[in-house]
Amino acid sequence: MDLFATTSTFAVSSYALLSTVYKTEQARYAVSRDVYILPETQRHEGVPPSVDVIVPCFNEDPLTLLACLESIASQHYAGQLRVYVVDDGSGNVDAVTPVHEAYADDPRFKFTLLRKNAGKRKAQIAAIRQSFGDLVLNVDSDTILAPDVVTKLALKMQNAEIGAAMGQLTASNRDDTWLTRLIDMEYWLACNEERAAQARFGAVMCCCGPCAMYRRSALVMLLDQYETQFFRGKPSDFGEDRHLTILMLKAGFRTEYVPDAIAATVVPDRLGPYLRQQLRWARSTFRDTLLGLRLLPELDRYLTLDVIGQNLGPLLLALSLLSGLAQIAFTGTVPWCTGLTITSMTMVRCSVAAFRARQLRFFGFSLHTPINLFLLLPVKAYALCTLSNSDWLSRSTASVPNGAERPIVIESSTSGSKVSGGPRTGSFRNPDLPRAPSKFAASDSVLGGE
């Protein structure tokens, strides 16, 4: 057997062995989290904690932002709820102004307009420093929350050892394209396999930005570190969610996953934006994995296996692919062993996911394998070689008028009054802006049926 064939076979065999051990352990720890139902009798002791919902937005589509704010305003939460919307120097301020005006009379809402684009992290911090609730819920402006998300996350945060908790993510535009369907399945697997297993040990390694709740006392303690993250001497302005989660773990707090706190977020519907998103996430993962390695001796050994599986696994897979392609190019022979191993592992994983989710559509996730092999692996390799690059890659900076850096704060005239966090009465009607249709649909897999 030639060198290329030997290398490809060895790499894919090592990948298969590592992946089998890793995925088996992951499934074992995640399976008990398949059904997570809070007892009806479980209630907050005394007064429920106050919750500040923070929504940073930049050049957001008005209807998307409106749908997000409507889902927040309609939360069924017995405690005090305040909402801080921070417009991060958007160039479409005129377009979203009707959305701001729709909630101008709701005393729970406060809008801050930054004159210059500063980035999501700065926008979050601007809101955190002017808010004062017991808990802080970060919500992306393209995300819609189920009506009970705040309640379920706040109940989880009753444990004082927990510094952060995330909900389950689904794709609100799942039915738009073949890619959005794949991403929705990818989110389900990431939440209900990876995060669910990590949560067994109170160490979810990334509380995702679309829906993540934090304990204010812990957040304030870490805010300066969060704001001044550097990598190789340069400010880091992406990967906020993973970095903040790692800081929580370093400070000794638990991070959790609540699978029935469901949030639907908009996902890329074209390959270009999807690959740029994956490039940002890969850089963030590699950067914070280096930081998170120091935590492993204090965590369960499964978390060490998790880090190895997520980082070494793709390297072995890439090596087997490159060796196989070289074998074809230089010897004219097909690496059947490599191909059959990857195919069989793909079908096993899809079968397990279809069984756990009780949905046959997960067999279609096999289409993700060629995307991973020929697109995502090169993207991850490029990310590893360009870790110092901090380009956001998703949206260009808004063109805003020159002016003071001082933010403009817009408040309801009744914002000083004490407000209960129940849903608004009545409905919004604005002649200049059509009402956004609800895009939220609970994941069938979470509900346990087709």
pLDDT band at residue 305 under the 50/70/90 scheme: very high
Mean per-residue pLDDT, 28-51: 65
Among 36-45, 204-213, 365-374, whose mean pLDDT is lowest?
36-45
Overall average pLDDT of the 245-263 stretch = 95
Please give the residue that has the higher pLDDT: either 164 or 32.
Answer: 164
pLDDT at 358 over 80: yes
Under a CB-based contact definition with an 8 Å cutoff, are residues 106 and 412 in contact?
yes
Residue 232 banded pLDDT, cuts 50, 70, 90: low
Least confident of 57-61, 146-150, 434-438: 434-438
Segment 167-183 shows an average pLDDT of: 97
pLDDT of residue 289: 82
Contact criterion met (CB below 8 Å) for 242 and 285: yes
Q: What percent of the chain has pLDDT over 70?
A: 81
Other CB atoms closer than 10 Å to residue 414's CB: what's the count? 10
**pLDDT at residue 227, rounded to an integer:** 83
Q: What is the pLDDT of residue 228?
A: 81
The arithmetic mean of pLDDT across residues 152-181, rounded, is: 96
pLDDT at 44 over 70: no
Is the pLDDT at 199 greater than 60? The verdict is yes
- Torsion angle, alpha carbons of 21, 24, 28, 33, to 10: 120
Q: What is the 3-state secondary structure (H, E, C) of the chain?
A: CCHHHHHHHHHHHHHHHHHHHHHHHHHHHHHHHCCCCCCCCCCCCCCCCCEEEEEEECCCCHHHHHHHHHHHHCCCCCCCEEEEEEEECCCCHHHHHHHHHHCCCCCCEEEEEECCCCCHHHHHHHHHCCCCCCEEEEECCCEEECCCHHHHHHHHCCCCCEEEEEEEEEECCCCCCHHHHHHHHHHHHHHHHHHHHHHCCCECCCCCCCEEEEEHHHHHHHHHHHHCCEECCEECCCCHHHHHHHHHHHCCCEEEEEEEEEEEECCCCCHHHHHHHHHHHHHHHHHHHHHHHHHHHHCCHHHHHHHHHHHHHHHHHHHHHHHHHHHHHHHCCCCHHHHHHHHHHHHHHHHHHHHHHCCHHHHHHHHHHHHHHHHHHHHHHHHHHCCCCCCCCCCCCCCCCCCCCCCEEEECCCCCCCCCCCCCCCCCCECCECCCCCCCCCCHHHHCCC
pLDDT tens, position by position, 369-408: 999 999 999 999 999 888 777 665 554 433 333 333 444 4
Q: Across residues 257-280, what is the average pLDDT?
A: 96
Tell me the pLDDT band of 91, cut-offs 50, 70 and 90. Answer: very high
